[in-house]
Amino acid sequence: MAIPLIIGHRGAKGIAPENTLKAFKVGLDFADCVECDVHLTKDKKIVVIHDGNIKRTSNGEGEVSQMTFEEIRNFNFGDDQKISLLSEVFDLVKDKNKKIIIDIKGDSFLDAKDISVAVGNFLKENDKNEIAFVSSIWEEAILEIKIIKPQTKTFIILDMELTAEDILNKLKKSKADGISIVYTFVDKKIITALHSQNYLVNVWPVNEPEDILNVSFLGVDGVITDYPETALKYLKKE
């Protein structure tokens, strides 16, 4: 059995505050790759945060798009962690010689397109060694990345049950290189169909040892987990 890529979800969100440098440092100790989420601030900085509002993950409140980076930087995102720029996380990953998946967020495809243009330009300037992948629920965002930096591998995020045919149609439409799908919505038939056309399959959020082993036996390419140390422990046993 080929061991799938271990991908730390929002760094290692089960162990440290999600999407913080602390979480990424923990994740990079055990994972091959870390995943992060990005938004644009009012002053067009690419920041690493899942939600469009800082309320859930910090001691502040407000829309990311309506605040400057320095304003958001004043808040505590858990364990005295500040919000990070994508460039800070990227440099950390590069120094560790690992990989990063950048998940483009946005409340609409127009928001996502703006973020994807910023991310695409950042990668075009900084990702000479191709350490970054890009994912999004927004097909328009994936297409924009392919226009700006065609060699960057991209993933459509899926959180619904679809047939292999439906998934393949989405992949062809978006020019994506693979899917990132909720692990309960994938089976051997879908994986075989996608692999036969050279598409990649990542699954999330896989946290229980039994599930980690089950999806690896199915032949997925990447396991996105809140607990990369646990994934490494059980996958190395195999």
Assign 236 a pLDDT band (cuts: 50, 70, 90): confident
Q: Spell out the CATH class of 5-37+89-237.
A: alpha beta
- Over residues 40-68, the pLDDT tens digits come to 999 999 999 999 999 999 999 999 999 99
pTM: 0.98
pLDDT at 2 (0 to 100):
81
Phi, psi of 136 (to 5 degrees): -170, 155
- 110-135 per-position pLDDT tens digit: 999 999 999 999 999 999 999 999 99
User: In Å, how far from its chain's centre is CA 229?
Assistant: 18
Residue 8, pLDDT score: 98
Query: Between β-strands 33-40 and 46-48, what pairing exists: parallel, antiparallel or unpaired?
Result: antiparallel
pLDDT in tens, 62-89: 999 999 999 999 999 999 999 999 999 9
Rg of the chain over CA atoms, in angstroms?
A: 17
Omega cis (within 30) before 209: no
* Confidence at residue 238, expressed as pLDDT on a 0 to 100 scale: 52
In this predicted model, what pLDDT tens digit does every residue of 134-189 receive, in sequence order? 999 999 999 999 999 999 999 999 999 999 999 999 999 999 999 999 999 999 99
Helices (H) and strands (E) in the chain, counts: 9, 10
